[in-house]
Structure 1
Amino acid sequence: MLKVVHLNTYDGNGGAGRGCMRLNRALLSQNIDSKIVVHYKFGKNPLIRTFNSNLIQKSYTAATIILERLLAKRYLKPLQRTPFSFAWFGHSVIHHPDVKNADIIHLHWINHGFLDPKHIAEIAKLNKPVVWTFHDSNAFTGGCHVRYTCDHYKRQCGNCPLLIHASDNDISHQIWKQKHKAYEVLDFAIAAPSSWMQASVKMSSLMQGRNVHQIPNTLETDIFKPADKKQAKEKTGLPTDKFIFLSGFMPSRKDLHKGTQYLLESMELLKQRLGAAADNIELVVFGNRGIEGVPDFPFKTSFLGTINNDEQLAQYYAAADAFLIPSLEDNLPYTVMESLACGTPVIAFTTGGIPDMVQHEYNGYLATYRSAESFADGMEWVIKHPDSAQVQQQARQTVIDTFSEEIVAKKHITLYESLLNNKGAGGADV
């Protein structure tokens, strides 16, 4: 039986953690011996292992995570909100029994003091095939996780716009050199969840000559599934006579990555267009930890807070008439996939990997990038669509055809087997 070990910083915390756990479940369903080992374990799932076997080790790990964030303030510009990881701390993984016994080592999100360049290179000592899923851009940049319009990763970074003291040889360039040295030692196949990520990797100076395989993330289609809209609204306590827009956490107007300001502007435009009919619209937001600092929306808005139960979250997706995601850069965001799986169309900007999931005016609406007016057009399109049932069915079918557990698991298995059969550096294309 093929043995795969997945390495991730956290157990289910964030999109990468969820992606890792969902892939693990999908592989298990295909009779693959798949295991997860994490740097810092929050939950109590006994099937997820950790490199910290005692309280002292766990406390040290937590301290390095916190310390990295504190030290980062000395280098990053004030009020800088773009995620950036330094390479100050690391952890050896090659002596863990699950890593030693695996046929395939599959890396996921490995920041926050987990695998620094030195310990990435150390994995080469095991002489095992390695797959690395790039859940964001950090692996091929000098530190940032989100690039926006910066193209320094195409060269060797340096002169980083996020740093207080930027120069040709600033810390972003130094991190680039550390990664370059490590990648010369360790050969690995790259899995890019979206076509946007695949194209970005191919343009990266750190990844020249490597094969990049586009293999999407997956999710539990037996949990995230459609339900009768009226019944779902009644079950979740939402008004059955209102058009419900659902959206994820938006911290403030100043938040850049999630594009909150564009959602606010587009909803204000929509209210003006609808006139009296605007009273039939409500917004529901999940993922907020509190209501302090949240913006004032032009429509009646309910804040659900963090929803940790997937069945409950799926009910809200199924109850909503459309999902709004104004994100300005995302790889293959799970909120989009989850919404579509529940038969709920998505309104989003044309950015990142979102067009891999949302097909314009088929299962949702792709608005012009950074255009609040275009985003408002999308909301108006879904409100006035003459056949909402068809759009809902097409949303669900998109996920079944492309992102179901069986399909995604088999694509990974094909890549694993190609690596084990030595069909060329980085594995055969899948």
Structure 2
Amino acid sequence: MRILLINTSDRTGGAAVAANRLLKALQKKGVSVSMLVRDKVTQDTSVVSINTSAAKKLINQIRFVWERLVIFLCNHLSKENLFQVSIANTGTDIRHYALVREADVIHIHWINQGMLSLSDIKRLIDSGKPVVWTLHDMWPATGVCHYAGLCDQYRSECTQCPMMQHPFFWNLVRTVYQHKSTIGLEKIAFVGCSHWITEKCKQSRLLRNASFYSIPNPINTTLFKPHNKQFVRGKYNLPIQKKLVLFAAAKVSDSRKGLTYLIEACHLLAEQHAGIEVLLMGNKADEIQCQLPVPSHQLGYVSSLEQIAEIYSLSDVFVISSLEDNLPNTIMEAMACGTPCVGFQTGGIPEMIDHLKNGYVARYQDAEDLAQGITWVLDHPYPQQLAEACVEKVKTHYSEEVIAGKYIALYQKLMEKSK
């Protein structure tokens, strides 16, 4: 069994992290697996980049810019939502790569921003090889957006995306939707990381004849594990006696992360709970640090997985205030380190956090309930019991052994079916 994973990057972004973890999990099970990417960051020899020369790297940069430029022009020269939509109008034909030719199963993850075009995806489908596509967001099921939010046009036909200005002459959204409908998506086995995104995408007219499976992302529980809280706080020069509330995101100020609700919750906590301090892990933390009513610490962007695990471990609670999310790696990582999580009842979050068992699921967009959830964790009478419940949930549902086994079974099923 030879499996090829395809993703735009091998490290940058949640989908890249999940795909890389699946790569490692399958390798540990003895599967022959490789990953094909555009942007290679790691030194892993099983990851191959299509940027094999300076010329190809430049061409791929031009492809990235070209896609964004078309969106920018069709959106009336507005940068709003520029990276919330993708049109896959350009990409690389990867059929000639040996990894593609030799693969028994092609497993697509996240291929936007110029990695693969819709025509490139059609060529992979037409190869006759089984194709799996993990739904890290809703883009395969919509016209152009990565998350539909309150819009349900994708259930019938996307004609005008709420994230794009009304077209003057050319309807880009309709054009992309119609192109998507012709590439053979019904031949793909789609895997939802969460039951939430699986059910959402099943409603898409584009995918009405496709097959669906639900398999979460894996995590290495020997890497992400609890550390001694006092020791690691001392290592990072953080207060031993304070209650530390962690928030983490690649870009802390991203509007989809719902920071306004976290800030409002902190205002409530400042009045009700003494000794709270906030940790901000990620880029652009300075944009919101000045808005917090409690002491805070900027940790910046942390790339070392060992350090990330230590930061989760030294925190008392991890808060995710996202307004829409699939199966956040951050929740899985925090819980694996024994840190309870608090998040809104949206996306796949309620599937990960068992309310009042290993964390708290707050009412959607309710800062007061978010604050209540944080208080519930911080004042829990048996914090060690809570931490153990977090670790047990991850080991049972998201360990490499469990998830790799599910994917291997799916690959074998599709290979038998294609004979």
- The normalised TM-score by structure 1 is 0.93
CA contact (8 A) 2:75 2:167 kept: no
1:241 and 2:236 aligned: no
User: SS where residue 394 of structure 2 aligns?
Assistant: helix
Q: Match for 1:319 among 314, 332, 356?
A: 314
Change (3 A) 1:341 1:194: same
- Please, which of 346, 353, 366 is the counterpart of residue 348 of structure 2? 353
1:88-167 map, 5 Å: 88-166=89-167
Alpha-carbon contact 1:215-1:411 (below 8 Å) kept = yes
Q: Residues 69 and 162 (structure 1 numbering): CA distance in 2 closer, same or farther, change over 3 Å?
A: same
Unaligned runs of 5+ in 1: 425-430
Contact 2:23 2:35 in 1 (8 A): yes
C-alpha contact 1:160 1:170 (8 A) present in aligned 2: no
Please give the per-residue CA displacement for 1:155-209, whole angstroms capped at 9, x wherever unaligned: 111121111125998211211111110025x721111100101101111111102
User: Is 1:221 paired with 2:221?
Assistant: yes
Q: Is the 8 A contact 2:251 2:284 kept in 1?
A: no
- Matched residue, 2:173: 172
Moved more, 294-303 or 413-422: 294-303
> In 2, distance between residues paired with 1:285 and 1:111?
28
Contact kept in structure 1, 2:317 and 2:377, CA below 8 Å: yes
CA contact (8 A) 1:8 1:108 kept: yes
Alpha-carbon deviation of 1:294? 4.6
| Residues 159 and 173, structure 2, Cα contact 8 Å, conserved in 1 | yes
Q: Deviations over 1:247-305 (max 9, x none)?
A: 1138677x43110111111111121223xxx2x11110101246256542111000111
Q: 1:32 to 1:228 in 2, by over 3 A?
A: same
Paired residues in the alignment total: 417
Work out the percentage of aligned pairs sharing the same amino acid.
34
Change in Cα spacing, 1:61 to 1:222, as seen in structure 2 (3 Å) is same
Q: Which amino acid aligns with 1:155?
A: S
**Which sits farther off after the overlay, 412-421 or 147-156?**
147-156
Structure 1 residues 187, 26: closer, same or farther in 2, change over 3 A? same
Task: Look up the match of 1:68.
Answer: 67
Aligned AA (1:415):
L
Counterpart in the other structure of 1:256: 255
Which residue in the other structure is 1:399 paired with? 394
Distance 1:168 1:245, change over 3 A: farther
TM-score where L is the length of structure 2: 0.95
Name the CA shift for 1:79/1:60 in 2 (closer, same or farther; >3 Å).
closer
Give the match's secondary structure for 1:400: helix
Does structure 2 retain, via aligned residues, the 8 Å contact 1:350–1:366? Answer: yes
Kindly indicate whether the alpha-carbon contact (under 8 Å) linking 1:330 and 1:354 is maintained by their aligned counterparts in 2. yes
Contact 1:243–1:321, Cα closer than 8 Å, also in 2 = yes
Deviating more after overlay: 54-63 vs 407-416: 54-63
How far 1:68 moved relative to its partner? 2.2
Matched residue type, 2:336: A
- The CA distance in 2 between the partners of 1:324 and 1:422, in whole Å, is 43
Q: Deviations over 1:58-83 (max 9, x none)?
A: 11101211232233222236352361
Aligned to 1:5: 4
CA–CA distance in structure 1, aligned partners of residues 250 and 225 of structure 2: 25
- Aligned residue identity for 2:163: L
1:90 is displaced (CA, Å) by: 1.8
Q: Report matched runs for 1:302-317 at 5 Å.
A: 302-317=297-312
Cα-to-partner distance string for 1:21-62 (whole Å, 9 max, x where unaligned): 100000000000010011232444333102232110111101
- Bigger shift: residues 319-328 or 83-92: 83-92
Inter-CA distance 363–76: structure 2 relative to 1 (3 Å threshold): farther
